[in-house]
Structure 1
């Protein structure tokens, strides 16, 4: 080391008790906390920096912090490990009691009845959904990744680069990845949205509660004809329950399916005993003498009996407490560039909560799907840890799997690529397959 570099190292080490902003240091140097508090100089080609030790912060400082414990967090953790940058450097702050898992299972295999081999943890922790290693709690420990369970972030200060958790911990971060995902949209409490027997699905605790209800249910009402509604209704068929789907549109999956394609799937559900009430709005959910939900009352006054109701009317991004980072007013979520960088240096956002440039359609979008959660996590961490400057060029991809339980007369899996734009051309008759192509104005 040259005398100039030695002097620089001494200057930076002597300032170790101060709190540095990463932007105040040269782009080739980083301070990293080690052992009993000594900060050491490390040559780095990365463009982000950890922060120096400060006695005022609990458990020392964190070089990298991921807020959120969903799919994107799990895949981000894997990418950190692949680069050898996780051990002792990465902290995940989660409201969940378990490590990240493949959330799509919650409305599919997790809801199957006990005699039909339902999915259960630890079977679907990330990253098994893409053929990777199962990242159980032991995996995180073995790779030196700190996970704060059931301790969500409740406050954020971008100036001091600190986070406060619900337990009162104050964390100092060097680089921050926001991976808070979405929360289920709910019916208002005043119309019965919180009655016992009314369910929303977003995490494994929600799915556990629903499975318990399905075990004693007789009549199920599903509100919503999108992803959640269709997958939950298919699972209810595995329990041989009287199932009705209620939604305001003319057909199921209106954001993706054409009327013709929707009709074929609706007929499949009807063959499995599912009833549809289309073009209908909920006035309220009624309660029985025991206080549990007993019916769905529609705007036209009609009443549908139910002892279990599942609400699948969409989701909204969880931006709190990070609103100051920058929320996109049109699509919601934390706005980022094509490398998942927010407007605040050193802060990134990935997965459902990220409002990113959808290059192929030249617009800002949020994509609420596991495929994007996985790929955005990988792209973001590659950007953070390397000199990658390649823009995220994403082809929207969605899929669903229904009626896959044992004994089903027909198991169905559909995939959708791109956007529902242009003239639709249908090929096949769904016996056993069907394909639809959307042709744009340029042919």
Structure 2
């Protein structure tokens, strides 16, 4: 072989190696994306199934994590399975069974599980007749023996798969504080023998408020993520809406459940227009209303109307009415801000929270002018109730910008940027800051 031939052969080998490496990188990237998608869509179901099976919350989470780690290892070699959720559930279940078989306590647990499975088969599920592990998990998290904050945090951790750090940011507490809360909540469920089930009909009302609150917070985390690259997490929005539909069938006489379902549908109809192609937040007034989901708007409005006919308006129905004012306006200029202010006045009586008052200030600023809205926002700022909440300085900045007080607006935008953790919102705030600087 001549030197020229050897050089050509060497270059060909290098080309083949480069091609193999590029192909491997492509496959690895595709698998990583597939696992990330499966995590968002399947985490809650996998964990819920394992908790029902083992009764051990920590074991369920650990084995679910092991299953996703196994997917990252095996799927590049074996290919992404046709039903990723089933593969993950089976892998996690097998891992949990192996762990239980290795100790004496686990062996007794397996015996109890066999009995429970047999009893469930005879009854056809729990007393509610709802064979939905995620709904069982939701009601278990919302047991009245747990504090409301613990109920919400535990649901976001187990059902939505949020990290402890993400939940801590949503609650404006440290990660260590949130970790302790989660540990205490799991211990209380275990030590108090709280059953993993949808309660019988006569016990449902005592949990309705907590369950609806958690479902809405689940939707909100999907609709406006507290942190991360994506503003919207469609999987969480979809799961919250699905759970609300199941609850509406389970408790048809509760108008607030329908009010919540209507509220989420009316918000979800705008989901596709909330960020632009560059991933920057698009505010309501600038969204392309032609891309809103008219089917969801019509369904939400109809569900709301039926709920209001019950004559028992609650906080979710009032919020849904506010969302309907926005969703049914053909263009931003047609929004009935006076009606929205009146609805916020009613909502503030039902839910006297600083966040409601902040939204009320925005509506007043649109109906009566930015100076009137700014007075309300400044009052909230002085109270200190929303310290650390990025939307307070962001709202104040927008009102100052509309008043032409650009220097003060720039300071407020900087403060909001310091507090915001979501990338889409940060890009929006940075753009606004550039405008007034």
Q: TM-score, normalised by structure 2?
A: 0.27
More strand by share: 1
* TM-score after normalising by structure 1: 0.27
Choose between structure 1 and 2: higher helix proportion. Answer: 2
Q: Which of the pair has the greater relative contact order for Cα pairs under 8 Å at 6+ separation?
A: 1
